[in-house]
Structure 1
Amino acid sequence: MNQPWSNGRVGMTGLSYVGYTQWAALSTNHPALRAIAPRSTNTNLGAAQLTPGEPEWGFYFKYVMDFYAVNDLLAHEEDYDWSRRPLVNAFEDAVEQMGVRPPAMDMHLSVTPPLRRFPEGHPLDAKPVPVLLSLGWFDPYCRGEAMRDYHAMTANPAWRPLVHLRLGPTDHDDTRLDDRPAAVEHQGSIDIPLLTPEQIRAWFDGELRFFDRYLKADADVEPLPPVEYQLAHSSEVRHTGSWPPPEVTRRVLHLSAGPDDTNGNLVSRRDAAATAVSWVHDPDKLVPTATNLWSLLVAEWPDYRATTDRDDVLAFRGEPQTEPLELAGPVTFHGTVTTTGPEMDLFAFLLDLEPDGSARFICRGQQRLTATDPTEVTMSVGEAGYVVRPGHSLLLMLCSSDYPDFIPLTGTRERWWFATSMRATTQTLEIGGRAGARLELTVL
């Protein structure tokens, strides 16, 4: 700032945790900070529950255990043993190996409220500065809460003209769907994509223009659009004044009874008769997370077809598309559910069922519910930016676990971290009739 080459105007950029540090810096109202360009992050990054009322994320726990404690030098062969009972013992073993007990471990496992995240006030309550927020359709960890940040800013007249949003077909590590297959580096059981210099430079194209305008105050630089987006399976980069685009419409698909207890249909008209379908949440037979590493959804590009065939999963299939269907905005699930347990987790995955039978990720949502009596649910299934191509079908998958990305319920009132005994529970969903479950899409 005091260097002869500096005009005293500071900007920040970076991905994930480095993106989060920008929000932290903004919360201090430092006068030199004039613009930020956070990518793949949000103001609540690292919380056990990113959004209140959702299941607890599990994967980040190993980050606070070894990566942030001993710079990822813990000598475990591949991963923690997520099958341990109680699970906390797997991490106690890691503490013994490291010779240090990370303070964050006990903070996350405690029922005591955590330390105040922003001691000097929330960043969105700070003096507004220009923001270029870049998010990927295939980053379900960060994007949901980041979109809440975006809508909070654009609802505030002081922030609205300074906010620029970029949305594209990338995962958390900025691997683009268009760039698959890419070269990989083998690290244990995980293949890490190797990005080319051109791909890395592409991250910063829009950011350099953003900083030229707001830090250099270069009036010759054309203003960035309020929103720039590219749908998955489309080469077109589009500009609009807000998100979702003002020209979108709503489309409703109803869940309909199918050929057996776990397979149904997505239809435009609801069944006249009300029926109920059920599935079991068995803590000894959990639905597995589809990726080896949560941040590499595009790089790994998993096929969910084996998951949709499980007997503890419900799958509702739409008719094949005769023309492209452009999804551009929120996807919402509405239904009435009941559980035989004290609580239930509901996971909803919207998938692209391809002609060869493979099922690919479009978006996802999850919620933790107290539903011992019939309970109406309105649940976000995330934000979709996806072209469902001709011959492809939409598939909605419902289940009650996604492990180890999420810490599951035990079927009792014990927390998974400390539990040694589990109990299976049954979840029931109403379909058909006036209260039947339905899926609400935002389409162009």
Structure 2
Amino acid sequence: MNMLRQRLSRWIQARVLQGVVPGPHDIAIRKNLRVPMDDGAELLADLITPLGDTDPQLPTIVIRGPYGRSGPVANQARALAREGFPVLFQSCRGTWGSDGVFTPQIDEQRDGIATHRWVRKQPWCTGSVVTYGPSYMGFTQWAVAGKLQNEDPANAPDALCLLVTMPDFGAITWDNAAFSLRNALGWTQMMDRMIHRQLLALALGQLRPDGKLRKAFDALPLADGDRIANGRRVHWYQDWVAHERLTDQYWTQQSHTASVPDVTAPVFMITGWYDIFLPWQLRNYAQLVEAGRSPRLTLGPWGHISRGMGAPTINESVSFLREHFTGAPSTRVAPVRAYLTGAEHWHDLQSWPPPGTVTDVRYLQSEGGLATELPEGGTTRYIYDPADPTPALGGPSLQPNSGPVDNTAHERRDDVTVFRDEPLGAPVTVAGEPVARIRFRSSQPSADLFVRICDVHPDGRSMTVCDGIRRIGSIGSAATDPEPDADGFREVEVRLWPTFHRFGSGHRISVQISSGAHPRYARNPGSGEPAVSAVTLHRATQEISHDTPAPSRIDLPVWSS
């Protein structure tokens, strides 16, 4: 029977983690270990250990997350154990049998620290302890690593494997002051169903569009979204929509960005060009480099839950850990591996962005062009109506379909403006964070600027490359809003998602501007009222200036390989 279970487990792993060859070890699982916290709560964990002779130099791996101890991440934990690593997989406070109430992000530092101290005292601990995991399981790593390194280095992680993650979920919840509605409310519905064990509704929600969630996306005020999606209030969602300022203590208490440079342990990062956390993860990478660390980074053609990321995640994590703890030879020729979209091949780089990028300034022309020459002036106008909000088309999300989409039909909308250059005579490679600087005026007190770069193919397809948003005139943006000039125009800087993309010869670079991407971001009612309670929608006339001395433009980081 045990042999049959092992074979079945290996078969499931091979199916779920495509491209991962199960390691040589069979595994044993001790379920529901009770890990004591400092306040007396006990969190449940499963211990997955390899059977047979293993290398005693291999570290013990700790994974902490709220999504249960079965499913895709459990398969990753078992894959690591089959490679010889003992793995402790723990459910966060208030989830899957662990004591307490789940309040996202708030308790992870204290609970993580207590867990690390407990693990090192266990007889099965190999002596070294590392952390691993994607998304929220990455946040739980950042929550403890820097603080322990500063205050209790003997219990700090000896290495971190950080996968599609970041240390400050407030920054993505209110992305440049725009509320990330689709992710925030969709995740809230999913987690609330998990906590209340509504497993059938949870499963159906993964298989087909959820009518309640679609209705909730359109709800006003925003505070009603959780009630419509879930049939009840969810305390953390209410906190999220009520705290627009990232400087509020609610958000600062759960941000671990400042402690990133304190992490001295080896770090491996993996992410994708279409991941929801990409900009912040690359800024964390830059923090580590600036602090003199040597993080390893892989950037692939993936979204947040792309199946194609499974094999690189496991294989590269295992290689990274073996290299650092057993002296195995490195499998990398450079610290950074990055997939060049458009050309569809990998590059080995010494750093990110790659050395040698230069800023290529392209000006938005009043007649819809995009050129290196200064425009002759003029204004581009469009109407934004939050009662019929500009819809989101693709873009990074918690869904599997986050990759490039064709924007051709979308760009025909009256509330979307498009600026295109002439067909390129030679390829152009953009590597880094493009920055749009739009001289902008709205007839309403508050407005959003959503900017997207597209690759227009010779056959007419306008395919997404990257995008970004910025809100002005709101409670959350007040401290950073640019001042208007005498004509009421503000130079609004919009930083776009990082990209590594080659525009081929004959292709055209296109810049798309609108004032929303609903429901990816909650529509801006226009009034500047608190988002939690605003219900009245205000139609807005938006204007983009092409007049000197500061005409609207986009700065492209161009790389010559």
Cα contact 1:251–1:443 (8 A) shared by 2: yes
Q: Give the Cα–Cα distance (whole angstroms) in 1 for the partners of residues 257 and 289 of structure 2.
A: 19
Cα contact 1:336–1:375 (8 A) shared by 2: yes
**Once the two structures are superposed, what CA deviation does each residue of 1:377-428 show, in whole Å capped at 9, x if it has no partner?**
3321221211112332111000111111111211213345433321111121
Q: Give the Cα–Cα distance (whole angstroms) in 1 for the partners of residues 446 and 364 of structure 2.
A: 23
Q: Which amino acid aligns with 2:439?
A: T
Q: Give the Cα–Cα distance (whole angstroms) in 1 for the partners of residues 257 and 515 of structure 2.
A: 36
Give 2:549's aligned residue: 434
| From 150, 160, 163, the counterpart of 2:285 | 150
Map 1:378-389 to 2 at 5 A: 378-389=493-504
- In the alignment, structure 1 residue 129 sits paired with structure 2 residue 273: no
| From 536, 546, 549, the counterpart of 1:421 | 536
Tell me by how many angstroms 1:331 deviates.
0.8
SS for the counterpart of 1:366 is strand
Over 6 Å off, 4+ runs: none
SS for the counterpart of 2:127 is coil
- In the alignment, structure 1 residue 60 sits paired with structure 2 residue 164: no
Q: Which amino acid aligns with 1:128?
A: T
**Once the two structures are superposed, what CA deviation does each residue of 1:106-148 show, in whole Å capped at 9, x if it has no partner?**
2113246416544999531544211112121122x21112222
- In the alignment, structure 1 residue 168 sits paired with structure 2 residue 300: yes
Cα contact 1:255–1:432 (8 A) shared by 2: no
Structure 2 portions without partners, runs of 5+: 1-119, 474-482
Tell me by how many angstroms 1:313 deviates.
1.2
Cα contact 1:11–1:34 (8 A) shared by 2: yes
- In the alignment, structure 1 residue 13 sits paired with structure 2 residue 13: no
Tell me by how many angstroms 1:364 deviates.
0.9
| From 227, 237, 245, the counterpart of 1:105 | 237
Q: What percent identity do the matched residue pairs reach? A: 22
Larger fraction in helix: 2
Give 1:268's aligned residue: 372
Cα contact 2:183–2:398 (8 A) shared by 1: no
SS for the counterpart of 1:407 is coil
Q: Give the Cα–Cα distance (whole angstroms) in 2 for the partners of residues 87 and 32 of structure 1.
A: 40
- In the alignment, structure 1 residue 393 sits paired with structure 2 residue 503: no
Tell me by how many angstroms 1:48 deviates.
5.8
Q: Give the Cα–Cα distance (whole angstroms) in 2 for the partners of residues 332 and 119 of structure 1.
A: 25
Give 1:234's aligned residue: 343
Q: Give the Cα–Cα distance (whole angstroms) in 2 for the partners of residues 134 and 249 of structure 1.
A: 25
Cα contact 2:449–2:514 (8 A) shared by 1: yes
- What is the aligned-residue RMSD (CA, Å)? 2.8
TM-score (norm 2): 0.66
Give 1:339's aligned residue: 442
Tell me by how many angstroms 1:257 deviates.
2.2
Q: Give the Cα–Cα distance (whole angstroms) in 2 for the partners of residues 132 and 239 of structure 1.
A: 15
Give 2:357's aligned residue: 248
Tell me by how many angstroms 1:104 deviates.
0.4
**Once the two structures are superposed, what CA deviation does each residue of 1:341-395 show, in whole Å capped at 9, x if it has no partner?**
1122111100111223222111111111246622123321221211112332111
Q: Give the Cα–Cα distance (whole angstroms) in 1 for the partners of residues 140 and 534 of structure 2.
A: 35
| From 314, 317, 325, the counterpart of 1:204 | 314
Give 1:194's aligned residue: none
Q: Give the Cα–Cα distance (whole angstroms) in 2 for the partners of residues 5 and 67 of structure 1.
A: 34
Q: Give the Cα–Cα distance (whole angstroms) in 2 for the partners of residues 93 and 222 of structure 1.
A: 50
Q: Which amino acid aligns with 1:284?
A: A
Which is bigger in relative contact order (C-alpha 8 A, separation at least 6)?
Answer: 1
| Rg comparison, structure with higher value | 2
Give 1:33's aligned residue: 157
Q: Give the Cα–Cα distance (whole angstroms) in 2 for the partners of residues 121 and 166 of structure 1.
A: 20
Tell me by how many angstroms 1:219 deviates.
5.3
TM-score (norm 1): 0.83
SS for the counterpart of 2:310 is helix
Cα contact 1:13–1:19 (8 A) shared by 2: yes
